[in-house]
Structure 1
């Protein structure tokens, strides 16, 4: 930890990690309750319809804001005075690109089965492409100023609002449709968004629009958003393709199992979130500094991921008792996917090492390559093997992603070492 303290004092890193983990821990409990209720009340088919629509929105969502959430942290780490302009530019780009995304998502309707109503697509898109992205921007704004307590609160309130909305809906309609839930989903998101934006205005100050900085950041921000979209493709496109090429019940079963994988990774993501500003500080020494920083953080999350793998595998038979007998096949799906937390933990840290050192472009290219492989494999394997094929494709692509990141980091590290040796030799000759 002494190496880490060069960029972020140990007490601050522990405090930030604690706040993020506390917030994500509460979020984990809330999401678990939310997941059980929505899966049981909607049933596999309606739940599958909702999951398929959310997956499409997740692919387009990263382009909303064009990476300005990440740039707020990068800019403020380098100069705290840049917060006002970064916050203002982020708001402007997020709103404009969110409206464009809402218009664009209509062209994605052909990806969904005809049985899914248009209204679900529009309601979920309004929530996830505009309101949800504004809420995320607020969380990143507090994170940039290292006020992770507020970041944790926003994350908790986002999940809590949806849980409360779901409980109210289920108390009125015992088995609501996916369309009825989408209405409540939008309303709950809107409440949290208004509160989050108000909190940033009141606590951190008013935004300002800086057009020169806006033009300068747009290209770099595009790399962040493109990379995140590619990540969403290899994480979520299988659910949409499963709904289109398979059936909604299989999508619901697979989506339920994958949801548990996402939830199990919350503690790992907490460490990543708290360490993200320090990643940019470490990256100022080049790729070697970024790698050393991430190596110091990696062992404990990897150990935790191993525990998750065995827990998911051995406790999978409990799933139908919690969600209902309709989800019996989710036991096998969860066991197939149980290795994902281990693979994802590695490539999460490797990816942030590239970003912190300024190689977001390389990270994005690797993500696009894996996303393309995922889509091509799914086109063949899902019609033949349904959700089992989707699970095999996910495992293979996450493993490929981790391997490609290792190759990229090793290559860049060797290049930096050779450059340093040449500089040292020139200085010695001089």
Structure 2
């Protein structure tokens, strides 16, 4: 019955495979959002604002390094498999090796940075577990999402999106029900265990899709590193700018401030997940179409859908912001205000994500890196100033200013590229 429904949807000219996979990915991200919301509610009520803030601020350090894990191999996989699905086994083997090598190096860097630079953080043992969860286990799951989307399997991608969050929720719930206290170090251990379980599940999904690692056909380490450098740097600056504020806030304002602000940000993050779904599904297709007329039409459709959703999400998020303390507990009363302040961020974020993906798939990754790197630097400088002046509100202002400027910068580069193409 399910297969028949999928066939009917694929046959509909108004939906097609891209539309169907977008719907499936959005559904998967919806389930993932519910799981992550449950995880947030569980941790916030179990740990309180201060404990959650210490945990969230420490996790943010690992998340900052996460985009470097794999060194851009997700983009290489999407590009190669989107053009030739028979390359999945070779690229999957390449990805696993790249994740293992870069992830190990990044975990070591995380521990060194924690000792040298961070005054407020979890214990080194807990930081090690968080590093392995975010820099080894989670990237495997993310790579499974890319592999599933590259071969047009939206259901598998939806499952891959959920396995790590579900594993974390199950392990932490079991630990909580066992009567243990919500100490950050204990939570870090369960966070790690759930991540490993989820990563193993993601590997099983790719195996089921026919992605058995073709070790002998994998790309060389030198070639993969060289080709992936621009994507790795782009991911670092493109994702790091909305996590660095939590690291700075933990050091400057303390754990309680981070807890209430991060809770608001994570809830807002749930509302932008469908935007990530659309970009992820469209990436292999945009690579394949390049600068063709069909590719231009697809980009226009994606831009309209992205902006339309962002407007709706903005209204809904604003309406739901007063409910945050009811969900998270009285310690998070201030989170409602910060969530409402963050609501205007959704629209420029959507415009930025669309234009950034458009630059990448049109061979303008260098320009994207330059724009996003400028934005990251601006976020750091503004936070160092405004956190002292405005407190947690300074992080909101910094994020909004940087996001608007990055969106404008990417669109300006796109417009210039279109003008050059029109003259050619």
Using the size of structure 1 for normalisation, the TM-score is 0.90
Is residue 2:138 matched to residue 1:138?
no
Q: 1:53 touches 1:120 (CA, 8 Å); kept in 2?
A: no
Is residue 2:239 matched to residue 1:232?
yes
Q: 1:132-151 CA deviation, whole Å, 9 max, x = no partner? A: 11221222122221112111
Work out which of the residue numbers 220, 223, 229 in structure 2 matches 1:216. 223
Is residue 2:193 matched to residue 1:178?
no
SS for the counterpart of 1:295 is helix
Q: How much has 1:197 moved relative to structure 2?
A: 1.6
Q: 1:290 touches 1:353 (CA, 8 Å); kept in 2?
A: no
Return the alpha-carbon distance in structure 1 between the equivalents of residues 348 and 219 of structure 2: 40
Return the alpha-carbon distance in structure 2 between the equivalents of residues 304 and 175 of structure 1: 40
Work out which of the residue numbers 2, 15, 18 in structure 2 matches 1:13. 18
Q: What residue number does 2:282 align with?
A: 275
Q: What residue number does 2:3 align with?
A: none
Q: What residue number does 2:107 align with?
A: 102
Q: How much has 1:217 moved relative to structure 2?
A: 3.4
Query: After the TM superposition, which residues 41-56 of structure 1 pair with which residues of structure 2 at under 5 Å, given as runs?
Result: 41-56=46-61
SS for the counterpart of 1:338 is helix
Q: How much has 1:344 moved relative to structure 2?
A: 0.9
Q: How much has 1:212 moved relative to structure 2?
A: 5.9
Work out which of the residue numbers 142, 161, 180 in structure 2 matches 1:155. 161
Return the alpha-carbon distance in structure 1 between the equivalents of residues 55 and 216 of structure 2: 37
Q: 1:105 touches 1:125 (CA, 8 Å); kept in 2?
A: yes
User: Which stretch of structure 1 is more off in the superposition, 255-264 or 353-362?
Assistant: 353-362
Cα pair distance change 1:209/1:62, threshold 3 Å:
farther
Q: What residue number does 1:335 align with?
A: 340
Work out which of the residue numbers 381, 394, 401 in structure 1 matches 2:399. 394
Cα pair distance change 1:212/1:11, threshold 3 Å:
closer
Q: How much has 1:290 moved relative to structure 2?
A: 4.8
Q: What residue number does 1:245 align with?
A: 252
Q: How much has 1:304 moved relative to structure 2?
A: 2.2
Q: 2:348 touches 2:403 (CA, 8 Å); kept in 1?
A: yes
Q: How much has 1:388 moved relative to structure 2?
A: 0.6
RMSD over equivalenced CA pairs, Å = 2.0
Q: What residue number does 2:300 align with?
A: 295
Using the size of structure 2 for normalisation, the TM-score is 0.92
Cα pair distance change 1:217/1:295, threshold 3 Å:
same
Is residue 2:133 matched to residue 1:127?
yes
Q: 1:11-49 CA deviation, whole Å, 9 max, x = no partner? A: 211221121122112112222211111111111111111
Return the alpha-carbon distance in structure 1 between the equivalents of residues 394 and 203 of structure 2: 42
SS for the counterpart of 1:113 is coil
Is residue 2:267 matched to residue 1:260?
yes
Is residue 2:81 matched to residue 1:76?
yes
SS for the counterpart of 1:339 is helix
Work out which of the residue numbers 413, 416, 421 in structure 1 matches 2:421. 416
Q: What residue number does 1:427 align with?
A: none
User: Which stretch of structure 1 is more off in the superposition, 104-113 or 393-402?
Assistant: 104-113
Q: 1:111 touches 1:240 (CA, 8 Å); kept in 2?
A: no
Q: Which ranges of structure 1 fall in alignment gaps of 5 or more residues?
A: 420-430
Q: How much has 1:213 moved relative to structure 2?
A: 5.4
Q: 1:386-409 CA deviation, whole Å, 9 max, x = no partner? A: 211011001111111100011110
Query: After the TM superposition, which residues 317-356 of structure 1 pair with which residues of structure 2 at under 5 Å, given as runs?
Result: 317-356=322-361
Q: How much has 1:214 moved relative to structure 2?
A: 4.4
Q: 1:349-404 CA deviation, whole Å, 9 max, x = no partner? A: 11111111121121111111111111111111112222110110011111111000
Q: 1:27 touches 1:156 (CA, 8 Å); kept in 2?
A: yes
Q: What residue number does 2:362 align with?
A: 357
SS for the counterpart of 2:214 is coil
Return the alpha-carbon distance in structure 1 between the equivalents of residues 139 and 243 of structure 2: 18
